[in-house]
């Protein structure tokens, strides 16, 4: 069964031109819409499927459209053209850190997210210590996260996501924010997720990790789908266009 299916996905953005300095430039820009914006295509005709239990790796240079694709899958943004179908409950690593409340503590944010995901109070309490331990944040459980570094917020987000055990997990460069101990624990979770047939879309510049965990890889370049196939072939192709 296809858990995720992308058909002819396009995503265009309108980028405003530089600020106009004169009244004439402003009025002329209002009359001529072409002067006001230019179009930028972030995704161009993307097609793929992900089956239950599969790991899809997404690789490419910065600006290739990887994070935009995750946002489309997560329904954070809508495609300009095409269709994305998702069969299952998604936890988007992109959204978790953004959704945290800065004036609340780490523990309070975990409770809110658990409630949103449908866990009972007892289920949340059973997971809190494990979440904080995994992220190396035990000492900061009663600290407001507005005082956290960006890396601490990302670790808290990832630790929360994996303890909730979603059906579909979207990950964007999660290992870049942790030390070796955090990476080791993350690999253990990845191994467990593969055994549990969890579906994962994994964006990373760490090609070794992509090859180790992913069943197939989607290669993007300037928003275009260069290829999709087994990790070794796609990584080799990526390195050839580097």
**Would you state the structure tokens that stand for residue 87, as one six-digit string?**
């069969």
Is pLDDT of 94 > 90?
no
List pLDDT tens digits, range 46-62. 999 999 999 999 999 99
d(CA 116, CA 129): 19
Using CA of residue 97, residue 100, residue 106, residue 108, what is the dihedral sign? negative
More confidently predicted of 17 and 212: 212
Instruction: For Cα atoms 203, 94, 2, give the angle at the middle one, nearest 5 degrees.
Output: 60
Q: Is the pLDDT reported for residue 147 higher than 60?
A: yes
In the chain, the largest separation of any two C-alpha atoms, in whole Å, equals: 65
153: CB partners within 8 A, 6+ apart: 97, 100, 145
**Which region holds residue 34: left if phi is over 0, alpha if psi is between -120 and 50, else beta?**
alpha
Q: Evaluate if residue 175 carries a pLDDT over 70.
A: no
Q: Which two tokens stand for residue 210?
A: 């992509």
Tokens of 160: 């929360």
Question: What's the rounded Cα separation, in Å, for the pair 171 and 162?
Answer: 11
* Interval 197-233: pLDDT, tens: 999 999 999 999 999 999 999 999 999 999 999 999 9
State the average pLDDT for the chain. Answer: 86
CA distance 133 to 153: 14
pLDDT value of position 103: 95
Of 17-21, 33-37, 38-42, 200-204, highest mean pLDDT: 200-204
Task: State how far the Cα of 3 lies from the Cα of 87, in Å rounded to an integer.
Answer: 5
Domain ranges of the chain: 2-240
Helix/strand/coil (H/E/C) assignment for every residue in 117-133: CCCCHHHHHHHHHHHHH
What pLDDT score does 171 carry? 87
Q: Nearest-5° angle of CA 5, CA 9, CA 15? A: 145
User: Phi and psi dihedrals of 144, rounded to 5?
Assistant: -70, 140
Q: Give the DSSP H or E segment for 70.
A: helix 66-73
**CATH number assigned to the domain with residue range 2-240, chosen from the 4 options 3.40.980.10, 3.40.50.150, 3.40.50.300, 3.30.1540.20:** 3.40.50.300
């Amino acid at each position: 069964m296809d858990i995720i299916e992308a058909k002819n996905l396009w995503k265009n953005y309108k980028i405003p031109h530089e600020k106009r300095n004169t009244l004439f430039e402003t009025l002329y820009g209002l009359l001529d819409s072409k002067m006001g914006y230019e179009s930028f295509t972030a995704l161009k005709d993307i097609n793929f499927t992900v089956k239950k239990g599969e790991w899809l790796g997404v690789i490419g240079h910065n600006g290739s459209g990887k994070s935009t694709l995750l946002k489309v899958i997560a329904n954070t943004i809508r495609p300009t053209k095409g269709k994305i179908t998702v069969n299952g409950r998604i936890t988007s690593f992109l959204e978790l850190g953004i959704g945290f409340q800065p004036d609340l503590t780490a523990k309070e944010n975990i409770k809110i997210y658990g409630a949103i995901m449908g866990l009972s109070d007892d289920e949340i309490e059973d997971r809190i210590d494990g979440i904080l331990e995994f992220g190396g944040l035990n000492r900061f459980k009663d600290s407001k996260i507005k005082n956290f570094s960006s890396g601490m917020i990302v670790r808290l987000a990832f630790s929360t996501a994996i303890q909730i055990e979603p059906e579909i997990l979207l990950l964007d460069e999660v290992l870049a924010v942790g030390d070796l101990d955090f990476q080791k624990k993350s690999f253990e979770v990845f191994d467990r997720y593969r055994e549990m047939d969890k579906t994962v879309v994994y964006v990373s510049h760490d090609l070794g990790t992509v090859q180790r965990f992913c069943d197939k890889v989607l290669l993007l370049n300037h928003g275009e789908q260069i290829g999709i196939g087994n990790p070794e072939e796609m990584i080799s192709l990526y390195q050839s266009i580097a």
